[in-house]
Amino acid sequence: MALQVHAKFLDKLNLVKRASGLARDEKNLSFALTGEVANKVRLVLSEANGESVVFTLWTSPTDIVELCGDGAYPASPALLSIDKEQARDLERRGVVVDLSQLVRSEAQPGTYYVLLDYPSREQIQHLLRHLVTTQNSSMVAAA
């Protein structure tokens, strides 16, 4: 049974990665939370230095366990993540995502995340201002 659940999660993860990739190709000039791109997964859209920055917001306890790789984490109501590939691409464009403030997923290499106690728009915007900077200044996450 566990293998079947894991296989379904990998399909979901691939779907979310595709949606995130498509969103990065768009110009996200203001902060926005999308509708669900998969069950209990939304995209967090923002921009820095004219570049689209896309995080994923996971709210299913089962998915959070899969991403964290540890059953002790489902008490957190949400997980905000970004993949290393996007972070490196943004860095080449002058936008820095401070991966040192995030946890590297042991279960999903290349994924970095932070657990959220309360996934409000305000908390997410505050977190993004601390995680994402440009070479010249802090990120402006439009309200």
Q: How many residues does the chain have?
A: 143
Look at residue 140 and tell me if it is in a domain. Answer: no
**pLDDT at residue number 142:** 44
Distance of alpha carbon 71 from alpha carbon 74, whole angstroms: 6
pLDDT in tens, 17-59: 999 999 999 887 789 999 999 999 999 999 998 899 999 999 9
Look at residue 75 and tell me if it is in a domain. Answer: yes
Task: List 32's β-bridge partners, or say none.
Answer: 45
Look at residue 76 and tell me if it is in a domain. Answer: yes
Query: pLDDT category, 114, cuts 50, 70, 90?
Result: very high
Q: Is the separation of the CB atoms in 40 and 34 below 8 Å?
A: no
Look at residue 69 and tell me if it is in a domain. Answer: yes
Number of domains in the chain: 1
Look at residue 142 and tell me if it is in a domain. Answer: no
Look at residue 141 and tell me if it is in a domain. Answer: no
Task: List 57's β-bridge partners, or say none.
Answer: 42, 80
Q: What is the mean pLDDT of the chain?
A: 88
Look at residue 102 and tell me if it is in a domain. Answer: yes
Tell me the average pLDDT across 98-111: 93
Domain that residue 26 falls in: 2-134
Q: Is the separation of the CB atoms in 60 and 36 below 8 Å?
A: no
Query: pLDDT category, 74, cuts 50, 70, 90?
Result: low
**Does the pLDDT of residue 69 top 90, yes or no?**
no
Look at residue 39 and tell me if it is in a domain. Answer: yes
Query: pLDDT category, 1, cuts 50, 70, 90?
Result: very low
**What are the C-alpha distances in Å from 29 to residues 23, 54, 123?**
12, 12, 19
